[in-house]
Amino acid sequence: MTNIFDSSKENSILKDERFLYPDFVPDQLPFRDAEIGEIVFGLKPAAHGKKPTNIFIAGKPGTGKTASAKFVLNELEEYSDRAKPLYINCFEINTRYAILAKATNFFGFPVPNRGLGSQEIFERFLAVIKNKKIVPILIFDEAEQLLKNEDSKKLLYDLSRLAEQFKIFAGLLFISNDEKFLSFLDERIRSSLNASKIVFEKYSALQLKEILKERAQYAFFSNVLEDEVIPLCAAHASKEGDARIAIESLLKASRFAERENAQKVSVKHVRKAFMEEKPVKFEITENLSEQEQLVLDFVAEKEVSAGDLYKALCKKFAERTLRKAVSDLEKKGLLVTEKTKKGKGHSRIIRRNSPNCSKK
């Protein structure tokens, strides 16, 4: 018996889909030369044992911040033994201890993942830098996560004083979708960091098209994309200017095409990929009345007819009250109603505006 995962069919469209994964770092980043140049300029002194400039990279999601930073740090690693770049995603690791321990380990002094005192771990971190005569470059991606508690804010304070107090040259690179990140720091931290800001602008549809073309060369066999496919993915993502959205929809569309055993990826597959995209999450910030909440819960994730809804809830509220609740929820964008023909008359179908709708 053959296993159900065992398919004799070879992929005929995707040559190597890893080139379309979100964390893939391409060795060419078109339209980011100037930004990459600025990062290089700021960090270059580190390669010669001097004090690099601290940098803050700001920009909307999918504008190439992470990819550019990783690209630069890979190059720096190759170029210099002095500079030691360490990438930290602050969604994954964000306590002062965990970050200092990770860095100290990475720079070459093994320390336990827990158990040392708050001063002791910092001293070991200082010791490894001095001992190994390195210039650490710490890259904090999703850096706004560090502002969420006092413990990680203390880390920023400690790091901001490295040069002045401990005569240690380090480069700090903060990356955030929040352009105001620096302004949330304490005045004294901000002024000691003295970071220069580099803003990554959204990509235009034209730029997204070029980026997709570049990536597609590696990911696909030749001539498997219909002409409209890349422009369509680019146009779709151009409102947000987000290369991740563009690349993801291309990947999704091509998987649909392969699943169907199609010869080529076509507009039809791309449209299907768009449909599958998770609707934008929105949170209910307004206070809902009791009847509104009840209606929303009743509708839940399915479609219901207005008649069924009134019937089900009529013990608690009059139909008039429920009608008003439905119409108010529709105005708030939480429900959608649609007229349908039913027998002789008309009926109303009600459903949630987004299946991901979450309550606060």
Closer to Mg ion at the Cβ: 66 or 192? 66
Q: Cα 224 from chain centroid? A: 29
Q: Which stretch binds Mg ion (CB under 5 A): 66-74, 210-218, 304-312, 336-344?
A: 66-74
Which residue intervals of the chain are DSSP H helices? 33-47, 65-79, 96-107, 118-132, 150-160, 162-166, 187-193, 205-219, 229-237, 243-259, 267-276, 290-299, 306-313, 319-331
Residues in 59-98 that interact with ligand ADP by CB under 6 A: 59, 61-67
State the number of CA atoms in the 13 A half-sphere of 84 facing the CB: 16
Interface characters, 201-220, with ligand ADP (x: CB under 6 A): ----------x--x------
Judged by CB under 6 A, the residue of 11, 24, 75, 161 near ligand ADP is 24
Look at residue 24 and give the partner it binds from ligand ADP, Mg ion, none, a contact being a CB closer than 5 to 8 Å depending on partner kind. Answer: ligand ADP
- The span from the CA of 353 to the CA of 120, in Å, is 53
State the number of CA atoms in the 13 A half-sphere of 41 facing the CB: 9
The reply on whether position 66 binds Mg ion by CB under 5 A is: yes
- The span from the CA of 358 to the CA of 224, in Å, is 40
Look at residue 307 and give the partner it binds from ligand ADP, Mg ion, none, a contact being a CB closer than 5 to 8 Å depending on partner kind. Answer: none
CA-closest candidate to residue 68, choices 94, 46, 37 = 37
- The span from the CA of 49 to the CA of 133, in Å, is 8
Closer to ligand ADP at the Cβ: 90 or 128? 90
At CA 50, angle to CA 48 and CA 53, rounded to 5? 115
Look at residue 231 and give the partner it binds from Mg ion, ligand ADP, none, a contact being a CB closer than 5 to 8 Å depending on partner kind. Answer: none
Look at residue 30 and give the partner it binds from ligand ADP, Mg ion, none, a contact being a CB closer than 5 to 8 Å depending on partner kind. Answer: ligand ADP
Closer to ligand ADP at the Cβ: 32 or 84? 32
Closer to ligand ADP at the Cβ: 89 or 105? 89
At CA 77, angle to CA 71 and CA 78, rounded to 5? 95
Closer to ligand ADP at the Cβ: 32 or 352? 32
Q: Which stretch binds ligand ADP (CB under 6 A): 55-63, 282-290, 307-315, 335-343?
A: 55-63
Q: Tell me how far, at minimum, the Cβ of 352 lies from Mg ion, in Å.
A: 31
Look at residue 22 and give the partner it binds from Mg ion, ligand ADP, none, a contact being a CB closer than 5 to 8 Å depending on partner kind. Answer: ligand ADP
- The span from the CA of 291 to the CA of 178, in Å, is 37
- Please name the residue that has the structure tokens 């291309």: 250
The reply on whether position 63 binds Mg ion by CB under 5 A is: no
Could you report how far apart the first and last alpha carbons of the chain are, in Å?
Answer: 51
Q: Using alpha carbons only, how large is the chain's radius of gyration in Å?
A: 27
The reply on whether position 176 binds Mg ion by CB under 5 A is: no
Look at residue 45 and give the partner it binds from ligand ADP, Mg ion, none, a contact being a CB closer than 5 to 8 Å depending on partner kind. Answer: none
Closer to Mg ion at the Cβ: 143 or 357? 143
Q: Which residue ranges make up the site for ligand ADP (CB under 6 A)?
A: 22, 24, 26, 29-32, 59, 61-67, 211, 214, 243-244, 247
